């Protein structure tokens, strides 16, 4: 589903006459209640910290909370090929352990973040 979604994004922005978009990818894994950057070498990876940035917003005079992961890598991509390379690298760095039901069980949750910036 992720490759098809990425393909759709690239087809949509490439069909526009003026292409003023930048796409960024991040890939995390939550393993043993800790967050890891899948796009960094897993042997050297330390758990990342989840932070909350509180700032005043103008939406109905409420506060907007911004949650982010401190130190998370973010890569600019300009093609489907670049996205596939990052996905493969991220999958390579994910932690897997064998279980009785599954030899390559991930034993974790992963999240691919796609940020589309329009200028």
Q: Is the pLDDT of residue 61 over 50?
A: no
More confident residue, 8 or 105: 8
Range of the domain at 25: 2-118
- Give φ, ψ of 42 to 5 degrees: -65, -25
Mean pLDDT in residue range 55-78: 72
Counting the structural domains of the chain, the total is 1
CB count in 10 Å sphere of residue 106: 14
Q: pLDDT band for position 6 (50/70/90)?
A: very high
Alpha carbons within 13 angstroms on the beta-carbon side of residue 19 total 10
Nearby residues of 34 by Cβ (< 8 Å), 6 or more positions away: 47
CATH number at residue 22: 3.40.850.10
d(CA 107, CA 103): 11
How much of the chain, in percent, has pLDDT values that exceed 90? 38
d(CA 116, CA 109): 23
pTM: 0.76
């Amino acid at each position: 589903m992720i490759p098809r979604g990425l393909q759709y994004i690239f087809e949509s922005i490439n069909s526009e006459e003026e292409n003023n978009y930048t796409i960024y990818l991040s890939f995390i894994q939550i393993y043993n209640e800790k967050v890891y950057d899948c796009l960094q070498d897993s042997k050297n990876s330390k758990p990342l910290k989840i932070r909350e940035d509180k700032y005043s917003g103008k939406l109905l005079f409420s506060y907007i909370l911004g949650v982010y992961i401190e130190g998370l890598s973010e890569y600019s991509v300009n093609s489907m090929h670049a996205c596939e390379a990052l996905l493969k690298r991220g999958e390579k760095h994910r932690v897997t352990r064998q279980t009785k039901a599954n030899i390559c069980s991930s034993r974790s949750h992963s999240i691919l973040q796609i940020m589309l910036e329009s200028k």
